[in-house]
Amino acid sequence: MEKEKFVGYLKKFPNIYDIEERINDEMTGFIVRDKQFDTLTFFSENAILDNNMDYLLNQTHHGKNIEQITRVTGYFSKVNSWNKGKKAELKDRYRSTIEKIPVS
C-alpha cells in the first residue's frame, strides 16, 4: 500500500484517528491513535508498503473490538446489543461446574 493512500484515509476520519509522522535515524513511520479504543500503534514505512488497508486498520485497535456472545436458553446472542440491566445480570450470574464423581 502507498504511504500517502494510508495517511490520506486516516486523515478523512479525524474523529476516529490521530496521526503523527515520526522521523529519526533508525526508523521512519507514523504513530496512529485510535480514539474509539484508546490505542497507539506505530507503523513503519515498510509495514505500510507490505500490507493492505484492512490489515493496517485492524492493527490500530489491538484486538479491543471483540464481540462477546453468550448462550441463554439455547439461543446465542451478542452481548453488546443488551441494555445495562441485562449486562449487569450477566456479570452477576452464578457459574457452576460439574465435578466428576469417581466410579467405584
Sequence-distant (≥ 6) Cβ neighbours of residue 36 within 8 angstroms: 16, 61, 65
Task: Give 79-99 pLDDT, tens digit per residue.
Answer: 888 899 988 888 888 777 777
Give the pLDDT mean for 21-26: 86
Task: Give 29-80 pLDDT, tens digit per residue.
Answer: 999 999 988 899 999 999 999 999 999 998 998 877 777 788 777 788 888 8
pLDDT at res. 98: 74
Q: Taking the alpha carbons of 77, 61, 19, 40 in that order, is the dihedral positive or negative?
A: positive
pLDDT at res. 104: 65
- Cα separation values, 81 from 29, 69, 70, 91, 92, Å: 37, 10, 12, 15, 18
User: H/E element holding 92?
Assistant: helix 84-92
| Pairing state between β 75-78 and 69-72 | antiparallel
- Structure-block grid coordinates of residue 42: 506505530
Tell me the average pLDDT of the chain. Answer: 87
Q: Is the pLDDT of residue 5 over 90?
A: yes
